[in-house]
Amino acid sequence: MSTITAIKPRPLIFQNQFVTMELVPALKEDVQEFYGWDNSGTEPKKTYVPRVGLVYWVFSTLKNKLEETPRKIKQDEDPYLMKEMLDNKMIYIAKNQF
């Protein structure tokens, strides 16, 4: 025997939710993680990879304030751009990761 179910659509109500968190300038150690040792040279040296999934905010020097939209570090992130933003203290992260 077939049955039919009536589904009442949920009304589209968007409630504003606010979060307060403290942001600090990111350090080099915050945006990368230890991957392993590179033994190809005469002395072994540490190798690092980007910390994929880390949420960060960019400080806009044009507007002189933080951008409202957070970003995430991806696997294919440009390391030279990240280094330049770190050197100019443009990357901010949450003080206590959530």
From the number of C-beta atoms within 10 Å of its C-beta (0-12, 13-18, 19+), residue 51 rates as: middle
What mean pLDDT is predicted for residues 38-64?
Answer: 86
Check if the beta carbon of residue 76 is closer than 8 Å to that of residue 43.
no
Check whether 10 has a pLDDT greater than 90: no
Q: Which candidate, 9, 31, 88, 91, places its Cα nearest to that of 58?
A: 91
Residue 43 in tokens: 């002395």
pTM (2 decimals)?
0.72
Q: Is the pLDDT of residue 1 over 50?
A: no
- Minimal CA–CA distance to 36: which of 48, 24, 28? 48
Question: What three-state secondary structure class fits 56?
Answer: strand
pLDDT score for 44: 82
Question: Who wins on pLDDT, 73 or 44?
Answer: 73
Q: What is the pLDDT of the chain when averaged over all its residues?
A: 83
